[in-house]
Chains A and B, each alone.
Chain A
Amino acid sequence: MNEESRKQVVQEIARHQSRLRGLVRCLLVRSSDVDDILQEINAVLWEKADDFQPGTDFWAWASQIARFKVVNQIRKYGRERLVFDDAILEQLAEIAADKLEQLDRRREALDHCLQRLPPPQRQLIDLRYAGGQTVESIAESIGRPAGSVRQTLYRIRTALQLCIEGQLASRGEPS
């Protein structure tokens, strides 16, 4: 592979980071492990760059490699961290790879839906994701039971999901 082709592969890897991250997460990898696995995947993609045919579908190529890498990694973690069997993981990977094709639109929809969240709900989401706090620490900080916080987050996520689906549907796209 010449220098120009390698440069293209690097750009494609960079461009697909969000999709790859989403795919890794959808395969039930713990959020705390996602970055590590993503970096491993990046390394493998780079090592296999010569296998990629310029002009073909990069996502199709990269997502296959990523799936293989993730499943192997999950096996290494041991049974105690496995939730789904291999067949289910394959099924989830298929669905995820499909949905990730339209990740940009999904992200746009989420941005829109986040802006519509009432401030208290938005604060809770910020605490959970921007602050990176556990439900327990959020509960402690705002003086509410953890179960209540968990339930509220559950409702917010459900509302966001419905909102995203509504947004995608209004644009005539599958959710």
Chain B
Amino acid sequence: MSHQPYPEERTRQLIVQLIDGVLETDDAPELNRLVQSDPRLAELVVDQLLLDSLLSEAVGTESLTGLVDLISEPTSSTCELRLKTSDPTVHRFRGRSRRLWQSVGFVGVVAFIACAFLVGRWENTAWANAVTLMKSAIETHAEPVERVYLVTEQRSVTTKASDFRLPTHVRVATMGDRFWVEVGRDAEQWKWGREGNGALWMTLGPQRALKIEHDEIGLPLRITSELHGLEVNSLLNGILKNCGLTRESDRDTVAVITATPRWRWSKLRSVTLEIDRETKAVRKQVLDREQVVTTFLLIESRSPKESLYRAEGHLIEPAEVFTRLSQPDQRQRILMNRFGPEAERWIKK
């Protein structure tokens, strides 16, 4: 029996309206009738809602603010530990957490660059100056110089202290499109980063690490790594599209630029950058997000140690690195144990 296109088309229209939150009250009974009339239309409704749910998960990442999550919720933030340590009457899981890889010290620069390139208001002289300054900063940071940033954060008083176990220190070393991060908390310390070939890695103690090759990185991770790579073109497709830019008054030897989202975006209120007027290096960047302000302060510029941009450079022998060739399932289990269910999609299956 052939199926009439109209009910299918109409059902699709109505369910999309519902997804977008614009379904009129008067249209709801019609949608109800349509679904009742044909099981295939019920299936169509489920397909659309599933697609919406998957899109929210696949695309709806908070790339810019991931470092805050990393800093706030390091290895202990598994669901298991949360359940054990939280109020026994309310066991809450965080839906979009553990964005380990969605972070690095350069993210503020990238945010600003993306805003600058995408907004497209070249006629504004102050704005154009800001773009020129940022281009210079990009060139500076493409040089083979390793820059180390000390990362600190301040949380608002409304943030529940019990929700977070803050690290005692976080340092980010960056060079070109590579980086590695050192995170410490009490006696714990771990490192993670990205190699020149795009592979991501994380240490699991002094003798173990895991590595995710470039071509097996899941979509949420891929978006983030592109962000970190200062690949402006890929950022054109990104979420940093709508910022207003302000060139503040220069302070001593630094130029100050502020980028502000034009509407609610990823809980970010602004990014403030201080750029050395002589060297064009970013000396300080401040991510102001709801409830938390994260500051990256340049503490050292030095010749790079190439080996430290690979996991092996942080391990002592005999060392073991889990890769897709050696215990691939182990990597998935470790990531999910440490960072929760979101980590399931960090590695392509």
Contact = CB atoms under 8 A, between A and B. Distances in A.
Nearest to A42: B93
B53 A21 contact: yes
Contacts of B57: 18, 21, 107
B263 A137 contact: yes
A132 B95 contact: no
B114 to A, nearest CB: 12
B238 A46 contact: no
A18 B341 contact: yes
B28 A157 contact: no
Contact of B46 (A92, A111, A153): A92
A88 B58 contact: no
Interface string B24-58: 01001001100110010011011111111111111
Contacts of B20: 134-135, 150, 153
Interface in B225-240: 236-239
A158 B48 CA distance: 8
Contact of B42 (A88, A132, A137): A88
A87 B78 CA distance: 38
B83 A96 contact: no
A10 interface: yes
A82 B54 CA distance: 23
Interface residues of A, number: 68
Interface in B1-43: 12-13, 16, 18-23, 25, 28, 31-32, 35-36, 39, 42-43
A141 B239 contact: no
A69 interface: no
A83 B23 contact: yes
A120 to B, nearest CB: 9
B178 to A, nearest CB: 24
B90 interface: yes
A11 interface: yes
Contacts of B43: 95
Interface stretch (A25-33, A57-65, A70-78): A25-33
A125 B42 CA distance: 24
B80 interface: yes
A42 to B, nearest CB: 5
Contacts of A13: 79, 93
B239 A161 contact: no
B239 A131 contact: yes
Given A14-B341, A127-B241, A175-B47, 16 more contacts: A13-B79, A15-B344, A17-B341, A22-B53, A26-B46, A31-B19, A111-B348, A123-B237, A125-B55, A130-B61, A131-B241, A131-B266, A132-B265, A133-B263, A154-B13, A157-B48
Interface of B: 12-13, 16, 18-23, 25, 28, 31-32, 35-36, 39, 42-43, 45-61, 63, 78-80, 83, 90-93, 95, 218-219, 236-239, 241-242, 262-266, 336-337, 340-342, 344-345, 348-349
19 contacts: A7-B80, A13-B93, A16-B341, A17-B342, A21-B95, A25-B49, A26-B49, A31-B21, A31-B56, A42-B92, A91-B39, A106-B50, A114-B59, A126-B59, A126-B238, A131-B265, A132-B60, A137-B263, A141-B263
